């Protein structure tokens, strides 16, 4: 199911997953209250995460997620040992041009909304290529969310006419590098550039 179907309403994708398993469940119509949800993911403990496009109103949720993330998670995402992102930088990150970039976030259900993961792609000079990045909060790592986010982003990218994803990953981020190998076996290439690897993923045909 591509993003045109996901965004137009009708049905959305439901998944349940653990570290080693992610299986689709029966799709169901989106209620009027959830027309903006792209997908749903159920954790092994029964909690549900809902995914949608990021909004400027998410600024405090993202700031909270950053402030409670580990130094290593922030280093792997921003390539710098930051502890907080300046408000003006956050606002720039949230001021998206949908024709140029896409950003999706995952929120866990509960009495208070909590943003726990996010992924984006930004078109680069080549018309059919985009650079990607994804992050999962420490409290929700190793639960299958990274794989889910990457597959969802790839599905949306294909529908958007993108054929190549590129990602810059620190060589110390072994989990992310293994994720790319798992999701796109035979369709990804790794180029070493000092302490960073540039991973190229071909989206021309559906991968496993």
Interval 9-46: pLDDT, tens:
223 344 445 433 333 333 333 333 454 789 999 998 88
Q: Are 95 and 58 in contact (CB under 8 A)?
A: no
Q: Which CATH number fits domain 3-202: 3.30.1240.10, 3.40.50.1370, 3.40.630.30, 3.40.50.10540?
A: 3.40.630.30
Instruction: Please give the structure tokens belonging to residue 31.
Output: 């209620």
What pLDDT shows up at residue 145? 93
pLDDT at residue 189 above 50?
A: yes
**Cα separation of 90 and 35, whole Å?**
25
What pLDDT shows up at residue 102? 93
The DSSP code sequence of 89-139 is HHHHHH---TTTEEEEEEEE-SSS-EEEEEEEEEE-SSTTEEEEEEEE-GG
Q: By C-alpha distance, which of 104, 70, 85 is closest to 173?
A: 70
* pLDDT confidence bin for 79, thresholds 50/70/90: confident
Does the model's pTM come out above 0.85? no
**Cα separation of 141 and 104, whole Å?**
17
Q: Alpha-carbon Rg of the chain, whole angstroms?
A: 16
Q: Where are the domains of the chain?
A: 3-202
**Cα separation of 21 and 93, whole Å?**
32
What pLDDT shows up at residue 121? 95
Across the chain, mean pLDDT equals: 79
């Amino acid at each position: 199911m591509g993003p045109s179907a996901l965004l137009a309403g009708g049905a959305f994708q439901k998944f349940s997953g653990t570290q080693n398993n992610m299986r689709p469940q029966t799709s169901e119509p989106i209620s009027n209250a959830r027309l903006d949800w792209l997908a749903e993911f159920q954790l092994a403990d029964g909690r549900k995460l809902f995914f949608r496009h990021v909004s400027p109103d998410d600024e405090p949720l993202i700031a909270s997620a950053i402030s409670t993330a580990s130094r290593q998670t922030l280093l792997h995402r921003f390539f710098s040992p930051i502890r907080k992102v300046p408000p003006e930088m956050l606002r720039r990150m949230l001021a998206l041009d949908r024709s140029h970039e896409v950003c999706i976030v995952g929120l866990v259900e509960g009495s208070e909304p909590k943003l726990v993961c996010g992924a984006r792609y930004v078109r680069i000079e080549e018309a059919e290529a985009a650079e990607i990045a994804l992050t999962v909060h420490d409290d929700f790592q190793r639960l299958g969310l990274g794989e889910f986010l990457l597959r969802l982003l790839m599905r949306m990218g294909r529908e958007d006419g993108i054929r190549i994803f590129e990602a810059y990953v620190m060589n110390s981020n072994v989990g992310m590098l293994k994720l790319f190998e798992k999701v796109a076996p035979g369709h990804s290439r790794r180029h070493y550039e000092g302490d960073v690897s540039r991973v190229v993923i071909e989206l021309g045909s559906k991968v496993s």
